[in-house]
Structure 1
Amino acid sequence: MTYSYEKLDVYKLSMAFAYDVYQTVSSFPDYEKFGLSSQLRRAVISVPSNIAEGSGRQHKKEYAQFLFLSKGSLREVITQLELSMMLGYIDQETHEKLRETADRLHRMLNRLIASLKVSPD
């Protein structure tokens, strides 16, 4: 079964979220280039990447597993954004905006996973 992941709202939002996080970390201090900013970039791009990779799997159970990986990466991003705010790299407003998007993505991933479990292969 092949999924057209580019048409999924969750994929589109995850790409926009990745873009926003990339823009945000570009203002981090230079000494974080190989630290927190690098880790944030890796984690945030993993969200849409796992949606895309999973959509190419043969079975829905495999696809769902990749969506669970996306959820895990999203939790990583949330944690790292929280630390970024604590360290003063991002302000509260930026953190709240990104957190709202992350929460929305989480709900969308949950709905997509649920839809894969109830529909036949």
Structure 2
Amino acid sequence: MSSFFKDLLVWQKSLQFADKVIARTETLDTSAKHYRLIEQIEAASASVPQNIAEGKGRFHPKEFGQFLFYARGSLYETITLLHLFAMRKWITNSELETFEQEANEIGKMLNGLINSIKY
């Protein structure tokens, strides 16, 4: 089976981003009652490269574009959760800025890829 989605730089960067987010959740100092938020940020961040890969495997470019929109939505969800984590002091403002810079780069790449698709 071909892994042509692995050649996409946006997939590579979003996979690295998800890994960093998940690694950070493993060190959070918060009570167990917030496990749902932690699971949600892990799922949202991992959903970005997953949707890129799934969309790339679809038959029609229109389907690929739809999955790129899903990926972008998951990216925005991750950013929102990161802001909440910063408000709760679970991550520092510096960490938030770093994550947000990476997410903005990924978002621009997703937008460029979406705009390049010939529907």
The TM-score with structure 2 as length reference comes to 0.92
Instruction: Give the corresponding residue for 1:7.
Output: 7
Instruction: Give the corresponding residue for 2:62.
Output: 61
CA distance in 1, matches of 2:35, 2:25: 12
Greater shift, 26-35 or 15-24, is seen at: 26-35
Q: Which amino acid aligns with 2:18?
A: A
- Superposed displacement of residue 34, structure 1: 2.3
The TM-score with structure 1 as length reference comes to 0.91
CA distance in 2, matches of 1:90, 1:32: 17
Superposed CA offset, 1:46-69 (max 9, x none): 000000000010000000000000
- Superposed displacement of residue 24, structure 1: 1.1
CA distance in 2, matches of 1:34, 1:93: 23
Superposed CA offset, 1:48-92 (max 9, x none): 000000001000000000000000000100000000000000001
Partner secondary structure for residue 71 of structure 1: helix
RMSD of aligned residue pairs (Cα, Å)? 1.6
- Superposed displacement of residue 100, structure 1: 0.3
Q: How many residues align?
A: 117
- Superposed displacement of residue 33, structure 1: 5.7
Partner secondary structure for residue 35 of structure 2: coil
Structure 2: gaps of 5 or more residues: none
Structure 1 residues 82 and 53: alpha-carbon distance in aligned structure 2, compared to 1, 3 A threshold: same
